[in-house]
Chains A and B, each alone.
Chain A
Amino acid sequence: MRTNSAIIILSLLLLGGCAASSPEPKGDSVVNVIKQECGNNDIHIKDIKGRKKSDGFMQVQVIGESNSDKYQRLEYRIVWFDKQGFVIDTILSNWTVVPAYAHQPFHVNVISPSVKAKTFRIYIRNEKEIICDQQQDGLE
């Protein structure tokens, strides 16, 4: 990777599961909401939340906004972990493009690759600079 190809990293670790003996939630439940906002002059990440769905999959939603006059090609990547903190190997953790149009909000909505996913870590990058580097462990 080029040294000048900076990565925007937005890190988040959510605990979405209960103890092994706990039953699966009957309905969808919001497990965490990140209140810290971050970004740079162009890209502003406003909201990140994750939930455990009734079918056992986790879902992550990121809402950001572009303050730039130009279209930006962002990329995100989510690494999923099981309840013991081991990475779940999956094709769904590859970098994925998310378009950020000039002066418009953008959304990322991703489902976990497995019902074993209990936590996750999300990275967002563009090709120029780091706008956010944040990590959170556990439930708020």
Chain B
Amino acid sequence: MRSTARWTGVGLITVGLLIGGCAPKTQNIDMHNDKEAEAVMGLDYRDFQTAAQEMIQSMITSGAVSKPGGGKYVLAVSNVVNDTMQHIDTDQLVKKMRVGLLKSGKVVVTTAVSAEGAEDKMAMKTRQELRGNEEFKQSTVAKKGQMIAPDLSLSGKIIQRNISIDRSTQQVEYYFQMTLTDINTGLATWEDEQVIGKRGSNKSVAW
């Protein structure tokens, strides 16, 4: 009886060691040189980086963010729709674009206006709740009529298409579509589309 229990224990330890030994080692990714990593069928950080890079280049090159006579445009971020099968936070793309545009020196982004209300709720809340509140020195409270209305609006969509190549291969296409609209005229002053395509095993899941 004791012998059986001992062998069971030895067996469990051996299996545990084998499983542990086979598991891939966790390691930090070198985000600046990640070429050796296999591509994945879904969207990963490299895809968002590439898309954002191309979009910023395209937008600056077009001259759409260069204000005639100098100065900076005020940009509001509108809806960027995720029309893929993946759970994507579209800020993975939009934030990179915002940072790039802010650094260009030609655009500032408003957080007071967006398609879903104020992005920075606190900025609006402090105005509404502190104004007239005797607990606060009123000279330090944001004055009325100080906020700057946006000149431009950025909107877009990320689309996914799955195509079956043969029994074992599938192709997944991702379309990044962005539009910059002049709010005053309602005209789109810049538009672009970047396509990222992946081909791989049918067993890979792209969501």
By a beta-carbon cutoff of 8 Å, the part of chain A in contact with chain B is: 1-2, 55-57, 59, 88-92, 94, 96, 109-116
Q: Is B66 an interface residue (CB 8 A)?
A: yes
Task: Please determine whether B53 and A91 come into contact, CB atoms closer than 8 angstroms.
Answer: yes
Task: Please determine whether A111 and B105 come into contact, CB atoms closer than 8 angstroms.
Answer: no
Q: Is B25 an interface residue (CB 8 A)?
A: no
Task: Please determine whether A113 and B100 come into contact, CB atoms closer than 8 angstroms.
Answer: yes
Task: Please determine whether A91 and B105 come into contact, CB atoms closer than 8 angstroms.
Answer: no
Of the listed residues A88, A91, A94, A116, the one surrounded by the most CB atoms of chain B closer than 10 A to its CB is A91
Q: Which of B36, B63, B100 contacts A90 (CB 8 A)?
A: B100
Task: Please determine whether A56 and B105 come into contact, CB atoms closer than 8 angstroms.
Answer: yes
B100 to chain A: which residues have CB within 8 Å? 90-92, 113
Q: Which of B33, B36, B60, B103 contacts A111 (CB 8 A)?
A: B60
- Determine the distance from Cα of A94 to Cα of B49 in the docked complex, in whole angstroms: 9
- Determine the distance from Cα of A110 to Cα of B104 in the docked complex, in whole angstroms: 14
Task: Please determine whether B53 and A110 come into contact, CB atoms closer than 8 angstroms.
Answer: no
| Given known A55-B66, A111-B57, A113-B56, contact A90–B49 (CB-CB < 8 A) | no
- Per-residue CB proximity of B19-35 to A under 8 Å, as 1/0? 00000000000000100
B10 to chain A: which residues have CB within 8 Å? none
Chain B residues bordering chain A, tally (CB within 8 A): 18
What are the 8 tightest A-B residue pairs by CB atom distance, in nearest-first order?
A: A55-B66, A115-B105, A111-B61, A111-B60, A114-B105, A91-B53, A114-B104, A114-B103
Task: Please determine whether A110 and B57 come into contact, CB atoms closer than 8 angstroms.
Answer: yes
Task: Please determine whether B106 and A115 come into contact, CB atoms closer than 8 angstroms.
Answer: yes
12 pairs, CB–CB < 8 Å, chain A vs chain B: A56-B66, A57-B104, A88-B103, A91-B99, A92-B56, A110-B57, A111-B57, A111-B60, A113-B60, A113-B103, A113-B104, A114-B104
By a beta-carbon cutoff of 8 Å, the part of chain B in contact with chain A is: 33, 36, 49, 52-53, 56-57, 60-61, 63, 66, 96, 99-100, 103-106
Task: Please determine whether A96 and B105 come into contact, CB atoms closer than 8 angstroms.
Answer: no
Q: Which residue of chain B has the shortest Cβ distance to A57 in the bound complex? A: B60
CB distance from A137 to the nearest CB of B (A): 25
- Determine the distance from Cα of A57 to Cα of B56 in the docked complex, in whole angstroms: 13
Q: Which residue of chain A has the shortest Cβ distance to B100 in the bound complex? A: A91
Q: Which residue of chain B has the shortest Cβ distance to A5 in the bound complex? A: B35
Q: Which residue of chain A has the shortest Cβ distance to B59 in the bound complex? A: A111
- Determine the distance from Cα of A115 to Cα of B71 in the docked complex, in whole angstroms: 12
Task: Please determine whether B104 and A1 come into contact, CB atoms closer than 8 angstroms.
Answer: no
- Determine the distance from Cα of A94 to Cα of B105 in the docked complex, in whole angstroms: 20
- Seed contacts A90-B100, A94-B49, A114-B105; 12 additional CB < 8 Å A-B pairs: A2-B36, A55-B63, A57-B60, A91-B49, A91-B100, A92-B57, A94-B53, A96-B53, A110-B57, A111-B61, A115-B104, A116-B105
- Determine the distance from Cα of A89 to Cα of B53 in the docked complex, in whole angstroms: 13
CB distance from B20 to the nearest CB of A (A): 29
- Determine the distance from Cα of A3 to Cα of B194 in the docked complex, in whole angstroms: 33
A57 to chain B: which residues have CB within 8 Å? 60, 66, 104
Q: Which residue of chain A has the shortest Cβ distance to B65 in the bound complex? A: A55
- Determine the distance from Cα of A114 to Cα of B100 in the docked complex, in whole angstroms: 9
Q: Which residue of chain A has the shortest Cβ distance to B31 in the bound complex? A: A94
A111 to chain B: which residues have CB within 8 Å? 57, 60-61
